[in-house]
Amino acid sequence: MRAKLTCVEGVAATAAPTALGADAVRLLQRLIQIDTVNPPGNERALQLELMELLSAACFDCELLAAEPERPNLVASLAGRADGPTLTLLGHVDTVRADRDEWTRDPWGGEIADDMVWGRGALDMKGQVASEVAAAVALAGSGWRPEAGTLMVVITADEETGGALGARWLCEQHPEKVRTDMVLNEGGGQAIEFDGRTLFTLSAGEKGICRFLLRTRGRAGHASQPGIGDNALLKLAPHLDRLHRQPPLEPIEQGLGFLAAVLDEEVSGAAGMERAVARLRESEPELTGHLAEPMLGVTLAPTRVSASQKANVIPSVAEALIDCRVPPGYGEAEVRERVGALLDGEDYELEFTETVVGSTSKLDSPLAEAISSWVSAAEPGAALAPSVMAGFSDSNWFRAAFPDASVYGFCPQREMLETESAPLIHSADERVPVADVELAARFFYEIPSKVLAR
Ligand SMILES: [Zn+2]
Is 155 in the same domain as 243? no
**Both 179 and 85 in a single domain?**
yes
Q: From ligand 1's centre to the CA of 193, what distance in Å?
A: 26
Instruction: Please report whether residue 343 resides in a domain.
Output: yes
Q: Are 316 and 170 members of one domain?
A: no
Contacts of 376 (CB under 8 A, 6+ apart): none
pLDDT (mean) for 51-60: 98
Identify whether 443 is part of a domain: yes
Indicate if 163 and 278 belong to the same structural domain: no
Residue 2 has pLDDT above 50, yes or no: no
Model confidence pLDDT, tens digit, residues 82-92: 999 999 999 99
- What confidence score (pLDDT) does residue 196 get? 95
pLDDT, tens digit, for every residue of 184-229?
999 999 999 999 999 999 999 999 999 999 999 999 999 999 988 9
CATH number, residue 153: 3.40.630.10
Is the pLDDT at 286 greater than 50? The verdict is yes
Neighbouring CB atoms inside 10 A of 340's CB total: 9
| 200 Cα: distance to centroid of ligand 1 (angstroms) | 16
* pLDDT at residue 411 greater than cutoff 60: yes
419 occurs within a structural domain: yes
Alpha helices (H) in 218-354, listed in sequence order = 231-241, 252-262, 268-282, 284-286, 331-341
Separation of alpha carbons 14 and 142, rounded Å: 11
| 82 Cα–ligand 1 center, Å | 32
pLDDT of 235 strictly over 80: yes
- Indicate the residue among 340, 355, 370 that finishes a domain: 355
CA of 413 to the centre of ligand 1 (A): 19
Q: Are residues 300 and 255 in the same domain?
A: yes
Residue 192 lies in a domain: no
CATH number of the domain encompassing residue 314: 3.30.70.360
Judgement on whether residues 306 and 161 belong to the same structural domain of the protein = no
Residue 22 main-chain phi, psi, to 5 deg:
-65, -40
pLDDT confidence bin for 252, thresholds 50/70/90:
very high
Q: Can you give the pTM of this predicted structure?
A: 0.92
Is 96 within a domain?
Answer: yes
Nearest to residue 87, comparing CAs of 174, 167, 156, 182?
A: 182
Residues 342 and 401 in one domain: no
CA distance 203 to 404: 11
> Ligand 1 centre and the CA of 422: distance in Å?
14
Q: How far is the CA of 36 from the centre of ligand 1 (A)?
A: 13
Both 26 and 54 in one domain: the answer is: yes
Report the separation in Å between the CA atom of 122 and the middle of ligand 1, taken as the mean of its atom positions. Answer: 8
Report how far ligand 1's centroid is from the alpha carbon of 159 (Å): 7
Kindly state whether residue 9 falls inside one of the protein's structural domains: no
Amino acid at 290: L
* Residue 197 falls inside a structural domain: no
- 309 and 402 assigned to the same domain: no
- Strands 220-221 and 298-305 come out as unpaired
Closest C-alpha to 249, from 206, 199, 203, 185: 206
- Residue 416 and residue 318 share a domain: no
In angstroms, what is the span from residue 55 Cα to ligand 1's centroid? 25
Domain assignment of residue 137, given as a range = 20-186+362-381+388-450
Look at residues 238, 221, 230, 222 and name the one whose alpha carbon lies nearest to residue 306: 230
Interval 371-390: pLDDT, tens? 999 999 999 999 999 999 98
The pLDDT score that the predictor gives to residue 62 is 98
Note the pLDDT of residue 258: 98
Q: Is residue 7 in a domain?
A: no
pLDDT at residue 12 in the model? 55
Residues 56 and 169 in one domain: yes
What is the per-residue pLDDT for 453? Answer: 87
How many angstroms separate the Cα of 372 from the Cα of each of 3, 131, 189? 29, 19, 16
Are 397 and 317 found together in one domain?
no
Structural domains of the chain, count? 2
